[in-house]
Amino acid sequence: MALQIGSKAPDFAINDQDGKTVKLSDFKGKKLVLYFYPKDMTPGCTAEACDLRDNYKLLQKQGYEVLGVSTDTEKLHKKFIEKEKLPFRLLADVDKKLHDAYGTWVEKSMYGRKYMGTARVTFIINEKGIIEDIVEKVDTKNHTSQILKDGNVSAKAPAKKTVSKAVVKAVAKKAISKTTVKTKKAATKKK
């Protein structure tokens, strides 16, 4: 039976990037974002990890801890964490037991070729170990918004800058004077 919202989250004991065993029971009394992704250091997986990294403090303020899961090795996870400066742990599910428990090891198809791989799915697990949400259509660049169900979340979005009218006039005046100088030089060369 596939996991659904309201299901008890399957327990696990799996190593993180440092070889330390991580269990679901370690997060009792906390909310957990358990996100499954295909592969370290690929464009989509990097975008997803970086969105979660950039919004990690916001997620923590909302009471969430984050764990990423792929079939990559501890060593590769460690490189990915160091390269992207990820503040959360990545679980090395090399034997796919966690994928099987959560139903994320699935048949995929690319260019007509079928193969087995990781479904990009995120499980939001509440303080009692119950799945309170499942994000199946992950927007890798805006995943935090999907988790928090807030379309306005974006740590990367720069603050809007306001420019005074005087600055706009000065820039325009400078651009006009440069154009005038170029036009005069061009006219002089033609003579």
Q: Which CATH number describes the domain made up of 13-148?
A: 3.40.30.10
Q: Outline where DSSP puts E strands in the chain.
A: 13-15, 21-23, 31-36, 64-70, 89-92, 105-110, 113-118, 121-125, 131-135
pTM, 2 dp: 0.76
**Catalytic residue numbers, as ranges:** 45
Per-residue pLDDT of the chain (191 residues; tens, 9 = 90+): 478 999 999 999 999 999 999 999 999 899 999 999 999 999 999 999 999 999 999 999 999 999 999 999 999 999 999 999 999 999 999 999 999 999 999 988 889 899 899 999 999 999 999 999 999 998 889 888 889 886 544 444 333 333 334 434 444 444 444 444 444 444 455 55
Alpha-carbon distances, residue 104 vs 69, 87, 162 (angstroms): 10, 24, 46
